[in-house]
Structure 1
């Protein structure tokens, strides 16, 4: 009898531990994590074994080998004699370039259309709805094919290139624009522009605090524009005020000099901007409509201009609703840029595919561009989450 009692008393703590919710939740998580780890280990080990049996080399040593293929456009200098690693860096920068510009332009276009959707003007509402229903319901890949065919067929060859103004040429090879010739003054002006934008931001922040404290309005917009423009002009004058331009000119079968926008880059940027702006417009519309009408009515009764009401009253409150879904669209635009391979723009996926075909390092190449896209997406999410926290209401 005593032995039975002792054994039952010994199992009671174990049963109590098993029936404890906290312990079971931790146990289940450990088991799931262990199962996922074992599955991953099995897949990796099986892949390496199969590659070894087929005498396929593994590892990332191929990144130091000569690439031996050209890239049509790059942000940094590149030649076929460079390594695969540098070629992949070119692809990363090309992806970041088109994604950043696409996010910027799609945000502006989508915001303007979203504001137009809630405008009392029926024509603006009609045009906005027509735009959204047209471009949102056509797959992005088909839009890229359409715009690419338009861009490449609507313009003549380089020898018959359109010349709408001095130094500007448009052909089926791209758009060529003049740029300032190399001079220290332009570097100084660029640094001054960055400082001017920072100064404009600080002026705006000070003006809003002053408005909140005293009720006095300071024209921070015009003052900020003056600072952002005035500093670069001053730096340009101090460093000699150069006026020499690097103008494109026809040499052989194409233009040389200046700066060019390739049909592939322009098509991809246009498609991403137009397509993503449709979703951003609906997000902005819903954000604006989430603000109680009493806010705008109260602001109007105080005599504020409609533009001030939208900029100072409605949009700041709507941002709390707009930012989270806007983050998803930024991520979608960045990932949709991988469709560039369909029209020949040398983005990360396109260059990775070429690398994979030449080296046979399929697993490594796919791992690289998956990791890069994951890193870019996480950076965008981190920044937008930080900005969302700043815009959130602070509870007392």
Structure 2
């Protein structure tokens, strides 16, 4: 007696590509890919034909020609004789700078406002609700212009610091707050490693030490977690982590001869030190308070997603309310907070392109603005802009997704 466990296999027919569930999804994907490829080919052919008829071609040689314009705030050396490529790099660094600063401060504002929106204090709760509703419902461009206008109208000019008026003196003789920006002491190294004093190699070495300290503290914390899981007793790690963070960087700064360049009024403006320009401050603060309002709602939703029984159980164990929030509620709420937080970080990066409204030289203002107008290479500049924002957005998403996978709930 023969037992048939599998249905007999029939011959393959073309109709099975549409009617057989084993092949239908693959068929639809192939059709979609072909349609997309044909559409891209048509667009490229149309572009090439139009450029050929106009006597133009796609070329990136303009990146090597002199830029011919100045940039008011740079993180690397730059002059008007520098190439368009270097001007674009300056714009990229300025974009990354304001995006990083805004992401950090917006997270701080958002977490504080989100937690305080659930406060038992009626006044604090309502004030945070007003902050969220006001700032997230007004376009960020308006906030950028408002903050920049207030800075230029209220803050004194550098010439006001001249004379013996005590109200015009610098803060601690180190900081100057003007309508052109904030002037702060600038660090530099007197003992260069690598043959050149103050070289970029010294700063790379400082960054490498900080990154090493970060991973070292993570290793110490991971070891303490393992010991706690095995024995129930958690070893103290605070002083060890503080030593890992501060001792290596302090020793390195002493070795490199860290010094400070204090700003001094010279003529009609300050010289020396570091200048944090008014456009950067306006853009940074506007992006922070605007996006912080959205993050506050994400934080509030994450906290409310945690079962009330978790809070009651922690309180029953005698844990203080602040510790309950930091040790019990927020760690569980992160799995709800992180996914929308990624979108807010991406919005900050893309909204930084509004910097041109206040004269901050980001990548949109340099490559997509002045360079495009001077060279007439619109297609090339726009393609490079699209590539930059695509790459930086994918990197942010990838990094945050890695962190999201580390804090998500893991099944046993």
TM-score by length of 2: 0.87
- CA deviations over 1:64-92 (Å, ceiling 9, x no partner): 11211111111111112121111111111
Check 1:212–1:132 CA distance in 2 against 1; reply closer, same or farther (3 A cut): same
- CA contact under 8 A between 2:306 and 2:329: conserved in structure 1? yes
Match of 1:54 in 2: 54
Residue of 356, 375, 386 corresponding to 1:359: 375
Match of 2:109 in 1: 109
The reply to whether residue 215 of structure 1 matches residue 232 of structure 2 is: yes
Check 1:52–1:167 CA distance in 2 against 1; reply closer, same or farther (3 A cut): same
5+ long unaligned stretches in structure 1? 1-9
- CA deviations over 1:161-218 (Å, ceiling 9, x no partner): 4522212111111100113342349867665544444333333333333333333344
Q: What are the equivalent positions in structure 2 for 1:264-283 lying under 5 Å apart?
A: 264-283=279-298
- CA contact under 8 A between 2:190 and 2:259: conserved in structure 1? no
- CA contact under 8 A between 1:179 and 1:259: conserved in structure 2? yes
5+ long unaligned stretches in structure 2? 1-9, 162-167, 193-201
The Cα of 1:294 is off from its aligned counterpart by: 1.1
- CA contact under 8 A between 1:189 and 1:231: conserved in structure 2? no
The Cα of 1:62 is off from its aligned counterpart by: 1.3
The reply to whether residue 393 of structure 1 matches residue 384 of structure 2 is: no
SS state at 2:177 partner: strand
Check 1:382–1:181 CA distance in 2 against 1; reply closer, same or farther (3 A cut): closer
The Cα of 1:112 is off from its aligned counterpart by: 1.2
Check 1:11–1:390 CA distance in 2 against 1; reply closer, same or farther (3 A cut): closer
SS state at 1:164 partner: coil
Match of 2:242 in 1: 225
The Cα of 1:283 is off from its aligned counterpart by: 0.6
The reply to whether residue 29 of structure 1 matches residue 44 of structure 2 is: no
Q: Compare 353-362 and 14-23 and name the one that shifted more.
A: 14-23
For residues 354 and 143 of structure 1, the distance between their equivalents in structure 2, rounded to whole angstroms, comes to 24
Check 1:379–1:253 CA distance in 2 against 1; reply closer, same or farther (3 A cut): same
The Cα of 1:225 is off from its aligned counterpart by: 2.9
Match of 1:44 in 2: 44
Structure with the largest fraction of helix: 1
- CA contact under 8 A between 1:57 and 1:361: conserved in structure 2? no
Residue of 391, 399, 411 corresponding to 1:383: 399
TM-score by length of 1: 0.90
SS state at 1:67 partner: coil
For residues 89 and 273 of structure 1, the distance between their equivalents in structure 2, rounded to whole angstroms, comes to 24
SS state at 1:245 partner: strand
Q: CA RMSD in A?
A: 2.3
Q: How many residues align?
A: 385
Residue of 166, 171, 179 corresponding to 1:172: 179
Match of 1:147 in 2: 147
Q: Compare 129-138 and 216-225 and name the one that shifted more.
A: 216-225
**4+ residue segments displaced more than 6 Å:** none
